[in-house]
Amino acid sequence: ILNVEQSPQSLHVQEGDSTNFTCSFPSSNFYALHWYRWETAKSPEALFVMTLNGDEKKKGRISATLNTKEGYSYLYIKGSQPEDSATYLCAPISGSARQLTFGSGTQLTVLP
Amino acid sequence: SQTIHQWPATLVQPVGSPLSLECTVEGTSNPNLYWYRQAAGRGLQLLFYSVGIGQISSEVPQNLSASRPQDRQFILSSKKLLLSDSGFYLCAWSVTSYYEQYFGPGTRLTVT
């Protein structure tokens, strides 16, 4: 089982603020990293799948970067909106594990 | 398009009673199937995954079991529930273990 750490655990921001959070994972034998958004009373929804060092993905106001050599990924939200309130989960896959290992998530609350 | 169904949505069961949760996927063939659990205050934990009919891999030893009697059906069972089995159970599918996963609506299980 991979050691996956996400920080911060929770975050409160004002509407319009930009924010970012971190996912740390073992850099050895890296294969891919997934980001999911989990809104209350809904199911987790895939945001990005990242595989290459230096990868940068974007979906609307949300973007993510990946550094496989040092074992971290950042998720950025520009101009946060109340509907961005959710728990953001990262899940790396190693070449040997072949399955996702989820971090405990960053719970984001955007205050209007 | 693909859809994933889970039932029941909520379940309250006494300690020592059996359990059967069902998950079915429509609109795809030979998917990878997964059972996850989120216990109170914890992250998503992979319980079982299956890459084909009758093929089950267990990630965490416990009193739960899984079966895949048909290509798009995944069942989570227990003969005797423990208090520690309480949690939110999610079924998911993916094309392969490296692709993004699509989650069902989940089952909230409370063992009393």
More confident residue, A99 or B68: B68
- Alpha-carbon distances, residue A44 vs A47, A55, A105, A107, B47 (angstroms): 9, 22, 11, 13, 16
Across the interface, which of A45, A46, A105 has its CB nearest the CB of B43?
A105
Across the interface, which of A32, A45, A102 has its CB nearest the CB of B44?
A102
A102, B106: Cβ pair inside 8 Å? no
Inform me whether the pLDDT recorded for A96 exceeds 80: no
pLDDT tens digits for range B30-47: 999 999 999 877 788 999
Q: What is the pLDDT of residue B99?
A: 81
Q: What is the pLDDT of residue A1?
A: 66
pLDDT tens digits for range A44-84: 999 999 999 999 999 999 999 999 999 999 999 999 999 99
- Average pLDDT in the B81-91 region? 95
Q: What is the pLDDT of residue A3?
A: 87
Q: Which residue has the tokens 């940068």?
A: A56
Q: How far is B101 from chain A (nearest CA, A)?
A: 7
B97, A102: Cβ pair inside 8 Å? no
Task: Give Cα A79 to chain centroid, integer Å.
Answer: 17
